[in-house]
Amino acid sequence: MHDRSTLAELRVDRFLRERLQASLYRAAQPLELARWEAAGEPVDFAEAVGGTYEPIAAGERWGRPWGTTWFRVQGRVPEDWLDAEGRLPEATRAELVVDLGFTTGQPGFQCEGMVWTTDGSPLRGIAPLNNAVVEAVGADGSVDVYIEGASNPDVGSLFTFDPTPVGDPATAGTDPIYTLRHVDVRLRDLDVTALLADTRALRGLVGQLDAGSPRRATILQALERMIDAVDPHDVAGTAAAGRAVLAPVLASPATASAHTLHAVGHAHIDSAWLWPVRETVRKVARTFSNVLSLMEEDPDVVFAASSAQQYAWMKEYYPDLFARIRRRVEEGRFVPVGSMWVESDTNMPGSEAMARQFIAGKGFFIREFGLDTPEVWLPDSFGYTGALPQIARAAGARWFLTQKTSWNETNRMPHHTFQWEGIDGTRLFTHFPPVDTYNSVVSAAELAHAERNFADKGRASVSLLPYGYGDGGGGPTREMAHAIARTGSLEGSPKVVHSSPRRFFETAEDEYPDPEVWVGELYLEFHRGTYTSQLATKQGNRRSEHLLREAELWAATATVRTGADYPAERLARAWETVLLQQFHDILPGSSIAWVYHDAERNYAAVARELEDVIESSLRVLAGEGDRVVRANAAPHGREGIPALGATASGAPGRVAPRADGEGWVLDNGVVRVRVDGRGLIVSAVDLATGRDAVAPGAAAGLLQLHRDTPTQWDAWDVDVHYRETVTDLTEVHDLRVDDDEIVVERRFGSSRVTQRIALDAGSRTVSLSFDLDWQETQKLLKLAFPVDVHTGVATSEIQFGHIDRATHTNTSWDAARFETVAHRWIRVAEPDFGVAVVNDSTYGHDVTRAPRGEGGGTVSIVRLSLIRSALFPDPTQDRGEHRLHVGLVVGADVADAVTEGYRINLPVRTIVAAGAEIDPLLTVSDPGVVVEAVKLAEDGSGDVIVRLYEALGVRATATVTASFAATGVVETDLLERELPAAALTSSASGDGGRSAKLELRPFQIATLRFTR
């Protein structure tokens, strides 16, 4: 038999495009339109309906960038569509169909709209590929609605990464950017709609089957017979005949061994990205209303949406919509997932902030819906900290889902379903959907890829399919639901079933009770520049986290000691702002300029609020007076001040630089530092051991400027080829001693930096501060410390502990990890000598090895990524003035690194007061057991919550002693619910307080609740 399959496919494709698609609607009637443009930011419905509307017709321009135009839409179904009884023809439906001027870009990245009833209820969103609104046509055939049109510019959905001014309303322009195409009432043919779905499902399957497959030949023959049965000039009248031809091939069931995909409707909505946060609020409303509409149309659809913040916005701004969501949640069809306030970055949020993502997220879902969400849902974050399994389990989560690791540039993860083991040994059941997208459209190609790609065949046979338009929102569509209906059991295809995340995970656990184990972080071999982009936002995050620690500590202390009111609501609002801005496209620096203008204003407001809480709490505690009181919110005592307390002790001095040839020496009896005539540290000797931290012939504190031109994602990526071009910034514009600091000024390109080097009395930390005026384009500024230590690993602080990473490139996994994330410190060491570098605002690092100049061996090159200047999506990224602080800790063990990391981020705070000492609320017997948070309980009971962790990576026994009257102490989860004791072994009452004895594994977290 002759092979005519290629011609058959071409025939089917053209028939589908020119006949079926074109025949979806039997008729269309334009509606009467008028418009009113909001002058500035979006307005509410009440204001919009009071506007002065002017006529507008199809073909007219509308919508300045980031503007809002309201359209009044009126009309009715034409009489000639109706039969004698006033009804529409059988197998038809009237719909409002809108094209606001959609471009070829992706849904969610351009103009969108919300349809409102005349009484102010949101009906449904309007977006490309999802623009038909059944509910807008009344039972009597009338149409009378408003459309809130959002003229969001397409910042870059085609991802050519071209610099653009439209990400900032100040530079985006004011001319209209869209052309209204049509706003019609149309008559949809339901038989043609069904035939189109049948044909698409089968044609897609043909493309995935082997060329020699009998099944493929059978389907192609059936498709050609369908074309013969359908009159191209009367598709509506013959569509049912075409469906009858295809019915047998659609009814042929899947094989018993076929992979099963659990289809979960989804709309990954970035809480900000190529649009501002304010637009995300509207995106969520449009998407959620679409989903509710689809659920009315298809009773099998189940939709999962994460991020408590997005539900909170609906409750605040769209209460009617939120009430509808609540009803579907009760049915189990609209499923809150994720357990977190937002889908946050997990690399950079601090320990307590990562915990608070769960506390705030799960707390909201419990309060609003009575649901204790069991999963962590982070499909799109840029790598996952090795601390996450323990944090998630401590919040009561059981499962974890992502797919981002499918973006790895070099290595393929060996599993799709596995146990993920964190740094403390905690394991979390984890799934990567093998479909390799969180925006599936349920195409045959995607389904086939998921089955072929699934790495755990033979031991498992199920995976999750998150389907629906995402990133910019939109969600599942009727076409996707139609595809699921046809692939539930279809020969040649995996099986697809409507499901929920819980149903999937329970099925997967039951089927695969002993999966493989992955240990440590889930490092994304991509988007490494996100550790550095948008420095001001990263500094705002770091500063806010530590201000929140201080505010909670001193406010709790003031409440317990004096009875002062605890500012729970103020603290909760501040936390919610900080948690929102840890979203995985805000904190990583990958959003438009508008997002960062907002973020920096928000951080400034948070700082003002928290400084007020701190100041007022300390004044209540210390009393009014004229003595200088010094408060230490860090978990370790310093400068004569106890941890978590305050005294009137004096501040330590700094050693004065002593001239030495062309340079200077700083010597405090602990460390001797030599700075040469270039303003570089050429020696830093630990006087107790005689070891010099600086590699022979090298210089520390060296700024290095690299060309930074990523291959793809500008703000996201640092590509390894940046190392091929480097300029050492050694030229000095000015070098002088200013009091007790060595001051070095350098100029390069259009930028300048003033560096100050100092050494405190009794300290082993060399302080380096930088005032930087950054005006570069596509450059990366590194700060290098060549350390005279031979080691194969570098130790980096992450949440609630630290992690070791190879500094060599033995394997492809090692080589791909060329830029890494650390929090407050990074350390390299030999068994008897170590050096740490601490910072107050830096996350990106790289640690490499180099030959030692004298005596052979190797040295370690520790570098911090200080700042970069990508062009997309914010072409002004990081331009301006910045201040950073770094410390070189000579002769540092892990305990020193931990202590100095807190010190540089939690400087001693001074107030003028009566001078009364502030006794700590509690003390800990082991300095390696670190207090991360002291606060009052979330439930308003007044109980004191203390969160601690073992920070050194060893087993520890510690006694926590509360210095206030406590009737008892229990161990709780992160949500402060009592647990069977795991770390708490005993407790006892004493003089005016209560003690608790803890036994902790390496890096174990413990949360204690002291009852007052």
Residues 993 and 965: beta-carbon distance below 8 Å: yes
Pairing verdict, β 399-401 and 375-377: parallel
- Amino acid in the structure at residue 92: T
The helix-helix angle for 235-251 and 190-206 (nearest 10°) equals 40
Cβ of 52: how many Cβ atoms within 10 Å? 6
Output the six-digit token pair for 81.
């569509």
Please report the DSSP string for 57-96 in residue order: -TT-EE--TTEEEEEEEEEE--GGGS-TTS-PPTTEEEEE
Cβ-based neighbours of 299, under 8 Å, separated by 6 or more: none
List Cα–Cα distances, 187 to 27, 127, 232, 548, in angstroms: 5, 19, 19, 58
Look up tokens 């590194």; give the residue: 782
Q: How far is CA 14 from the centre of its chain?
A: 42
Distance CA 141, CA 153 (A): 34
- The residue among 298, 293, 236, 231 whose CA lies nearest residue 24 is 236
Distance CA 259, CA 261 (A): 7
Q: What is the DSSP letter of 130?
A: B
Residues 550 and 614: beta-carbon distance below 8 Å: yes
Residues 512 and 460: beta-carbon distance below 8 Å: yes
Residues 789 and 684: beta-carbon distance below 8 Å: no
141 torsion bin: left (phi>0), alpha (psi -120 to 50), beta (else): left
Please report the DSSP string for 113-129 in residue order: EEEEETTS-EEEEEBTT
What is the helix (H) or strand (E) element at residue 147, kind and residue range? strand 142-151
- The residue among 292, 324, 286 whose CA lies nearest residue 113 is 286
CA angle (55 as vertex; 52, 60 as ends), nearest 5 = 120
- The residue among 496, 486, 495 whose CA lies nearest residue 254 is 495
- The residue among 462, 532, 434 whose CA lies nearest residue 783 is 532
Look up tokens 């069931």; give the residue: 253
Pairing verdict, β 417-421 and 427-431: antiparallel
Distance CA 134, CA 897 (A): 62
Cβ of 617: how many Cβ atoms within 10 Å? 27
Distance CA 416, CA 402 (A): 10
Which runs of consecutive H residues, i.e. helices, occur in 207-333?
214-229, 235-251, 277-297, 308-317, 319-331
Pairing verdict, β 334-336 and 303-305: parallel
Catalytic residue among 189, 380, 471, 692: 380
Distance CA 897, CA 859 (A): 19
Please report the DSSP string for 247-260 in residue order: HHHHHSPPPTT--E
Annotation marks residue 919 as catalytic:
no
- Amino acid in the structure at residue 295: M
Pairing verdict, β 627-632 and 517-519: unpaired
Distance CA 599, CA 536 (A): 9
Output the six-digit token pair for 618.
């300390």
Cβ-based neighbours of 437, under 8 Å, separated by 6 or more: 403, 446, 466
Output the six-digit token pair for 830.
């030999």
Q: What is the DSSP letter of 491?
A: T
Catalytic residue IDs: 380
